[in-house]
Amino acid sequence: MMTDKQKESPGGTAACPSDGTAGSDIGSGIHRSSDLVRPGERVDDLQRAGLRIIQDPELFCFGMDAVLLSAYVRMKKARRGLDLGTGNGIIPILLSDRTDCLSLTGLEIQEASADLAKRSVALNSLGDRISIVRGDIREADRIFAAASFDFITCNPPYRQAGSGRITGTPAGNNPQGQRQENGQSKRDSAPDQTSGTCGIDPRAIARHEILCSFEDVVRAAAALLRPGGHFYLVHRPLRLAELITKLCTGGLEPKRMRLVYPHVDKAPNMVLLDCVRGGAPELRVEPPLIVYDGNGSYTPELLEIYYGDQSKN
């Protein structure tokens, strides 16, 4: 499975490693019967600590960028963490294994995605550590107390508003709130009239800065991080100069940076950043992360990020 964001550009990397056999990919879709899983949805095995996630193919499914971002977090003993624009909750769920953080929160504006995230939290019995809050990033400083988080993560929309082609079938073309499932019409929950998502394709919201800009993300992170807290994000290298400028202006000093290359001889297609609120100016550029080796197989480091010690078995 390709990450929805990475499908937009050449050289995108696969959302998860596989050996090419059916069912080996994290996104291959393991269907289960459960009170938490609704028709048309699937349960994907994250192949890490027994974690699973509920996904709806008609919404925005997670990709490699979310997995790499969760692995970039280096605050194992943090007390409180927040994921801005959490989607189906993939990052908090992965962080529940990767960190010892006592309280993880996901903020998501889209009702359907927030509902998926809540059910995935329940599926993993993580309700004591993860909470999903429905709300707007632009109003995050009114939802949460100032300087109340030790770290914040964000996998934001990569494309600026008005740039590129908005792909997918716009929800506005289906005003009755219905979708097709196996030739049958399936009615969704009533369109949200208050959050600004009514009539907008949820995949477009995830890819494009329709409901929030990068400035909005920076403003929210700066307001909610404690002094010295860390802000972790993944984005596109094409916007790197802009990203660093806006982060520094917002008081979030980039301290670590790592570029992700699909192949060693190709241009990078992702950048990982670790920023500190009120940090001193000093940026350490880390060794590149290569996804595929010369034979087209996933590199040992990538497999280690996904599966931990399982990759050595």
| Sequence ranges of the domains in the chain | 6-161+187-312
pLDDT, one tens digit per residue, over 8-59 is 333 333 344 433 332 333 333 443 446 899 999 999 999 999 999 999 988 8
pLDDT at residue 216, rounded to an integer: 95
Q: Is the pTM of this model over 0.85?
A: no
pLDDT, one tens digit per residue, over 203-240 is 555 554 466 899 999 999 999 999 999 999 999 999 99
pLDDT, one tens digit per residue, over 260-305 is 999 999 999 999 999 999 999 999 999 999 999 999 999 999 999 9
Residue 78, classified by CB atoms within 10 Å of its CB into exposed (0-12), middle (13-18) or buried (19+), is buried
Residue 216 tokens, joined: 């909005």
Strand partners, 206: none
Q: State in words which class domain 6-161+187-312 has.
A: alpha beta
